[in-house]
Amino acid sequence: MQAIAAAPPDLVILDLNLPGLSGFEVCRLLRARPTTQHLPIIMLTARTSEGDRIAGLDLGADDYVTKPFSIRELAARVRAVLRRRLGPDAMRGMGVYRGRHLVADFEAVTIHVDGHPVKLTRREFDLLRFLVENRNRVLSRDRLLERVWGYDRFIETRSVDVHVGRLRSKLGPAGRQIETVVGLGYRFVE
């Protein structure tokens, strides 16, 4: 609650089973405060009863997701809640990255480097998108496999290295923005 008061996030993913206050109580408090009353909240919990779902939504949660859950579905639900809260005009520019060499329009599925179009495979496109969305953060190979390839794939982490190498090559000067962090993974830098 202190962190939210100090720097309100764009969205809260809230578990119900918290130490101290319950997630229901946290939701109620957030909805009662003028500064956070419109803050998007997604409850993510192991509590699956209809009564818990109804209580969460009635307290003001924008969505209710039960465990186990799919990361991709959760990401889609986050995007949907943000679209509803921010509106289509505010979301329109969120799918475009503009850098010194790279312009990536993730909604239109177009990539340009120094004004020239670049053709990427679907996997390379998804990899670039995830790296850009998490720019300046180190992402492990396992995390990239989980988020770009999906949970159900059994792929060697070396495959990530091969795809990153191909992506860097296709992006030319913009490829230098994808840094290798030895022993940890990769990071897209501004």
Distances (CA, A) of 43 to 29, 37, 103: 14, 15, 35
Over residues 2-21, the pLDDT tens digits come to 888 888 888 999 999 888 88
pLDDT tens readout for residues 28-45: 999 998 888 889 999 999
The pLDDT value given to residue 85? 73
**Six-digit token string for 99:** 């850098």
Residue with structure tokens 């003001």? 60
The whole-angstrom separation of Cα 13 and Cα 17 is: 12
- ∠ CA 169-175-180 to the nearest 5 degrees? 100
Report the share of the chain in percent with pLDDT over 70.
Answer: 92
Q: Is the pLDDT of residue 90 over 70?
A: no
Q: Is the pLDDT of residue 25 over 90?
A: yes
CB 14 within 8 A of CB 43: yes
Would you tell me the crossing angle of helices 122-133 and 158-171 to the nearest 10 degrees?
Answer: 90
The position carrying tokens 């992402």 is: 139
In this prediction, residue 71 has a pLDDT band, given cuts at 50, 70 and 90, of confident
**CATH 1.10.10.10 domain residues, the chain:** 121-188
| 107 pLDDT higher than 90 | no
- C-alpha span between 189 and 171 (Å, rounded): 14
End-to-end CA distance of the chain: 31
Report DSSP state, residue 172.
G
Question: Which ranges in the chain are annotated with CATH 3.40.50.2300?
Answer: 2-92
pTM, rounded to two decimals: 0.53
Q: Which CATH number fits domain 2-92: 3.20.20.70, 3.40.50.2300, 3.60.40.10, 3.30.390.30?
A: 3.40.50.2300
Q: Which fold has domain 121-188?
A: Arc Repressor Mutant, subunit A (1.10.10)
